[in-house]
Amino acid sequence: MRVLVIGAGALGGYYGACLVRAGADVTFLVRSARAEQLRRDGLRVKSPHGDFAVQPKLLQANELEEPFDVVLVGVKAYSLDDAMDQFAPAVGAGTMILPILNGLKHIDALTAKFGAAHVLGGLANVSAGLDADGRVVQFMANQTIVFGETKGALSDRTLALEKLLDVPGIDVRASEAIMQDMWEKFVQLSTLAGITCLMRASIGDILAVPNGEQSIFRLFAECCAVATASGFEPRAPFIEFDRKLFTTPDSPLKASMLRDIERGSITEAEHILGDMANRARKLNIDTPLLDLARAHVAAYEVGRRRAAS
């Protein structure tokens, strides 16, 4: 399969580099400045599993002329509209679009533009970012991609894609219940982003203060209630996993949204916290802590835009 990776940031850069290293036919669609950097330095990955670098094939939007078999979309949510316009020529009759963005809103956007038959559900569990030198830095050892048909059940194409993605550096699973998986990730991320942004602290630091743990799990309960009312009640193994995740002493874990705030960047707050809160309103579910976290990051965005202007 010919794979087009949209962008070479933390997600696309990490997973795309692993595929290139394994010999897959991968091309990255990037902007001019990133293309120049990658041609000069290569695509470099710093990882707990071992550092490596590859020399990627690159295209810019005006150079994209033919369809690909797979389009892997790992851009930030606020860049999705532009990205869809740019990679549209890559979507042919049999193209699979695999988004690994956070949240759920992007599924509707991709489906509206390209049709449901092209769009898979997907999620990534990797803690990564770009450093000042443009290197992809993997902060923790997790490196999972889960994906599947949005209507459920396995298909020949998802099994073929699972085989393609089964390379060193990627723990891959084709799912028969990807929307359930995505909702659980949505709950986890809304909790993590909400509490670490609200407190401007890691999970370990929050646990170290009075009522820290209680605050984490109040927010977790609010998000679980929204998922349940939406028809995707979180499963017992997920609840157990997140209880351990959110009670690990000295944990350095923080949401990428908080890292965005710390460096003064735009955030995905409305795509994550805002969408969860809006769904809660439609379902008449009270989410006071989620609403406060949303307001907190929204106020940061107001200040950021004012400073930029």
Q: Please identify every residue annotated as catalytic.
A: 185
What does the chain come to in residues?
Answer: 309
Exposure string (b/e) for 136-173, b if CB count within 10 Å is 16 or more?
A: bbbbeeebebbbbbeeeeebebbeebbebbebebbebe
Q: Tell me the pairing of strands 120-125 and 144-149.
A: antiparallel
Element (H, E) at 59: strand 57-59
Q: How far apart are CA 5 and CA 29, in angstroms?
A: 6
Q: Tell me the pairing of strands 136-138 and 91-99.
A: unpaired
Strands across the sheet containing 57-59: 57-59, 25-29, 2-6, 68-73, 91-99
* 102 Cβ contact list (under 8 Å, min separation 6): 77, 185, 186, 189, 268, 271, 272
Dihedral of the alpha carbons of 160, 164, 166, 170, in degrees to the nearest 10: -120
